[in-house]
Amino acid sequence: MDSLPPEQMPDPETICAHWGEDRTKYMGAVIPPIFQNSLFTNPTVEDRYEHRDPGFHDYTRVENPTTEITEAKIAALERGERARCFGSGMGAISCTILSAVKAGDHVVAVDTCYGPTRQFLKSYLARFGVTVTMINGSDVQEWEDARLPNTTLFYLESPSTFVFRQQDLSAVAGIAKEHGITTICDNSWASPIFQNPLEFGIDFVVHSATKYLGGHSDIVAGVAVGSKEKMTTMLQNEGQLIGAILDPFASWLLMRGLRTLPIRMEHHQQTTLELAKRLLSHPKVETIYYPGLAHDPQPELTARQLRGTSGLMTVRLKNQTKEASYRFVNSLKYFGIGCSWGGFESLALPISLPGKWVGEPQTNPIWTVRMHIGLEGVNDLWNDIEHALCTV
């Protein structure tokens, strides 16, 4: 389904409920069916080779009607023209990065981006002669300074992993456009409900749809969004050749997750803001890494780029030892101890951060606790946290 001019696009809630769907095609079914098939056949050879119907489908590695509905919704939510689902966030990220580099090229990337993305950029791409410069990324001048004559990609993640650092999306996209550099931004933290990097001039948005887009901790999925032109080139190459597609059943579950995305994000935001405020005024807590609070180090970017804030934050206790972070997390009752986030359930995990990520000169790691605030009741979560804080 083609997008409309921005002023004619429905609200996100309506996109999640209706966009990309046509019940007359599916016998009036309220829920689109799962096209769980690898191929599509033709009545005659002529139908396949000579007068192909534009609505015709061929093979699920390339296109699938269930997946297409999910993709149409995500493209519309991100204000892009075309989206493509992948078998994981890393599938979307690695294919999109590969579409922007060749042997001998150079990449500038945010140093606090998602760990496996960092590893893909720094270690894996080195095999193919691609070099990478990692920067903090908060200061626009750093992008200009790190740029080389052979730079073809700026990789952003805003807010970034663990410390939620932001980049000035329009300024970085502006530098990139001036020099013919592609820009990719990981938007998993904010989700399309709270931020749309394409509107600031970014070329590709990527998501781990395992997180908020899916929202129920029952699928691993990814998505890339961009203009029709840029996406078509990427899909003809990395999309088809690497083949990291999302299977139709997972696409269908992702579509079901999207139905409630806007109301889930609103609830994650409200509960997290309330807990963050209570945590900040607690004597056992040093600080919290989370945009939008009174001590936000980047208030101007928060105001300009984010329409809201999600449910993932990092808590730095006064006691920054490994033992204290372990005790705190082990004492929580409602928080699962696990690595992912973005689902209905609260999670917590001790994380040791390099001092320089949190503005400390020391080389010793600093133990923090990353918390994902799920959809449980705020008072239950606070009672749980307050009790666990007694142990540190």
> Which residues make up the interface to ligand PLP (CB under 6 A)?
88-90, 114, 157, 161, 186, 188, 208, 210-211, 220, 222
Residue type, 143: W
| C-beta of 48 vs 256, nearer to ligand PLP | 256
**In the complex, least distance from residue 250 CB atom to ligand PLP, rounded to whole angstroms:** 11
Among residues 314, 371, 291, 85, the alpha carbon closest in space to that of 208 is found at 85
Q: Give whichever of 183 and 188 is closer to ligand PLP, judged by the CB atom.
A: 188
Distance, in Å, from the CA atom of 285 to the CA atom of 300, rounded to the nearest integer, reads 25
d(CA 387, CA 392): 10
Q: Which is nearer to ligand PLP, 133 or 310 (CB)?
A: 310
| Smallest distance from ligand PLP to CB 246, Å | 10
Least distance (Å) between residue 203 CB and ligand PLP? 17
> Shortest Cβ distance from residue 342 to ligand PLP (Å)?
8
Closer residue to ligand PLP (CB): 143 or 155? 155
The distance of closest approach from Cβ of residue 190 to ligand PLP in the complex, given in angstroms and rounded to an integer, is: 10
Q: Is 307 helix (H, G, I), strand (E, B) or coil?
A: coil
Nearest approach in angstroms of CB 232 to ligand PLP is 23
Three-state SS string over 178-236 comes to: HCCCEEEEECCCCHHHHCCHHHHCCCEEEEECCCCCCCCCCCCCEEEEECHHHHHHHHH
**What DSSP letter does each residue of 239-277 carry, written as one string?**
IHHH--PPPHHHHHHHHHHHHTHHHHHHHHHHHHHHHHH
* Residue 313 phi, psi (nearest 5): -145, 165
In angstroms, give the least distance from the CB of 299 to ligand PLP. Answer: 22
Closest distance to ligand PLP from the beta carbon of 108 (Å) = 18
Query: Looking at beta carbons only, is 221 or 234 nearer to ligand PLP?
Result: 221
Single-letter residue type at 84:
R
- What are the phi and psi torsion angles at 317 (to 5°)? -75, 160
Task: Please tell me the distance from the alpha carbon of residue 125 to that of residue 35, in angstroms, as a whole number.
Answer: 36
Burial class (CB in 10 A: 0-12, 13-18, 19+), 57: middle
Residue nearest to ligand PLP (CB): 89
Confirm if 134 and 164 have CB atoms less than 8 A apart.
no
Nearer to ligand PLP, 21 or 345 (CB): 345
**In 3D, which of 11, 16, 8, 66 has the Cα closest to residue 37?**
66
Closer residue to ligand PLP (CB): 206 or 389: 206
Q: Which is nearer to ligand PLP, 32 or 91 (CB)?
A: 91
